[in-house]
Amino acid sequence: MEKMMRVAKTIEVEGKEYDVRKLTNADVFSCLSMLGKIGAEAFADLNVEEQDDVKEAGFNLFMRLVGSESTEKELNKFLGSLIGVSGDAFREMPPYVMTEIMEMVLEDEGMKRFLDSGKALTVLISNLRKKK
């Protein structure tokens, strides 16, 4: 079974190295929570078949989160958790840190599975709501 994110990577910030942890199921729920504030249907609309599509889909979802004030705190917390720091600490880091972390995550082989998991959960939740 393919892991969500295969290889932990490292990022250097002002002379200190941080390991970028692997994505987990908890991250899918964090992303769904944030997307719920701006429209979780974005996950349901994904049709990802090739790695380039995965990067584009992941980037588009990420940009929706970055562009929303309602998700800023949660996004900082999520990204900070990827390198083992608090959301407040992440917020104070240089802007290139967010870019490098997202590049690592989007280029990872497990990103398709991550997006597919989010899509499957979104569709399931939507179908359950329709049955009520």
Please answer whether residues 46 and 119 qualify as being in contact, where contact means their C-beta atoms are separated by less than 8 angstroms: yes
The label of the residue with tokens 């932990």 reads: 8
User: Residue 9 and residue 22: Cα distance in Å, rounded?
Assistant: 9
* pLDDT bracket for residue 94 (50, 70, 90): very high
Segment 34-70, tens digit of pLDDT: 877 776 555 555 555 544 577 777 777 788 788 778 8
Say which residue, 121 or 88, is predicted with more confidence. Answer: 88
Domain range holding 88?
Answer: 23-131
Segment 18-28, tens digit of pLDDT: 999 888 888 87
Answer yes or no: is 1 within a domain. no
Q: What is the pTM of this model?
A: 0.74
Backbone angles phi, psi at 84, to 5 degrees: 80, 30
Please answer whether residues 37 and 77 qualify as being in contact, where contact means their C-beta atoms are separated by less than 8 angstroms: no
Q: How many domains does the chain have?
A: 1
Answer yes or no: is 118 within a domain. yes
Please answer whether residues 59 and 122 qualify as being in contact, where contact means their C-beta atoms are separated by less than 8 angstroms: no
